[in-house]
Structure 1
Amino acid sequence: MIEIQNIEKSFNDKQILYGISAVFEQGKTNMIIGASGTGKSVLLKCIVGLVPPEKGKVLYNSRDFYQSNREEQKKIRSEIGMLFQGSALFDSMTVEENVMFPLNIQGEKMSANEKKDRVYFCLNRVGLENAGQKMPSELSGGMKKRVGIARAIVLNSQYLFCDEPNSGLDPITAIRIDNLIQEITHEFNLTTVVVSHDMNSVMEIGQNIIFLHKGYKLWEGSNTNILHTDCQELRDFIFSNKLMMEFNKQ
């Protein structure tokens, strides 16, 4: 579980986040949603320790990240897996080498064979067990995302963060990536946090959702009750999405 308490963040005297509090539950796909520029990615960076907030706390299973010493922060970071918006694969490395990269950095106690076994366990889990020797340039967008997921879980992560995981994908591939993220979350009992503005993803996997608008948290709930919200800003966000409108017609 991750708990954030009264997070505030500014850049150059411009406030981006205003007192954001939330609980991201273990074993669920938690989502941070909102329009572009509303503070989603900044909040994610605050949570993972890339950008310290001016105020507030980030608690990983009750461990206060920003009040921890360097060794404790390193331990928490070793438990985090990250799926970046653009997959962020190394172009000069094979798929196998990309997935093994975190093990080479942090898996000091593992033998070479153990690392390779772990890499192919993860590749098999995302359906790419035969792609280990391919280069990123040989992969489709969806395959790159799956490699990114394999790399994110290779260290037996407890926390999985996904920044716009469906960016650049066609609708069918996006649904497959959504389903894979949810399956892995449940299978490994992860605390998963997904940043998205894609209402299709919200309706597909949004078990625990917070909605940001101009830096404020205006709503939280699940995909089972989001369509019945009384929050006008959230309703505007939902129904401005043409795909969501098509969903409601069915």
Structure 2
Amino acid sequence: MNPHSVLLKGRRVLVTGGARGLGYAFARAIGQAGARVVIADVLEERVQQAAAELQALDLDVQAVSLDLAQPASVEACIGATLGLLGGLDGLVNNASVTNSGGKGTEALSIDTWDQVMQVNVRGTWLMTNACLPALRASGHGAIVNLASDTPLWGAPNLLAYVASKGAIIAMTRSLARELGSDNITINAIAPGLVEVEATAYVPEARHRLYHDQRALQRPQLPEDVSGAVLFALSDLARFITGQTLPVNGGFVMP
């Protein structure tokens, strides 16, 4: 029996970027913890396939389309989500882009910088705002923002992404003070270099750096991050807000 099968029983959770990788793993874990889940992604065909795969595991997971770069798409996503779930208790802001890797600051284009900030920072802000009325109405709303450990150690040649994830950490702290009176918690999870499709481009030397410098010297898998997300969404974390939890096998110990 899954020990977490009732941890989120009856909760309604939206996971952005749920078509694959970390978001897919989060949706599976959240569904296995008893929640009803909507996964949203710009990869429309893949997100529908992901939902079907999770439904085949007898999980209550449905899919909607989302392009965080388009404010109208954000509004349509939350409208569709509320139509499917009837309300919202949790939001996992997982979707992001990572297309600034491998280039030093002088080689980084303005267009790339703007795209990363538009999706990762503005998109997270817009999605959070769109969900706030429903999260307030739930009486126990919880937001989990996916940051990264890269701003905690200053990863080089990844400036736009590092800056965007540093902004997520700062936004989490500020919003915690704004949303506390609404009984909404908001925390950030900062994974290390996880073995997913989105990190396939990362040079082998960077993978070796993480592996060799971790206290736990093995590859980091999406499932290694899911427990922290479940905890932050659950009643076990109701008096924790504004915090950033590194989940990286001991690569960074702030």
- Same fold flag (TM > 0.5): no
Scaled by the length of structure 1, what TM-score is found?
0.33
Scaled by the length of structure 2, what TM-score is found?
0.33
Q: Which has the higher contact order (CA 8 A, sep 6+)?
A: 1
- Greater Rg over alpha carbons, structure: 1
More strand by share: 1
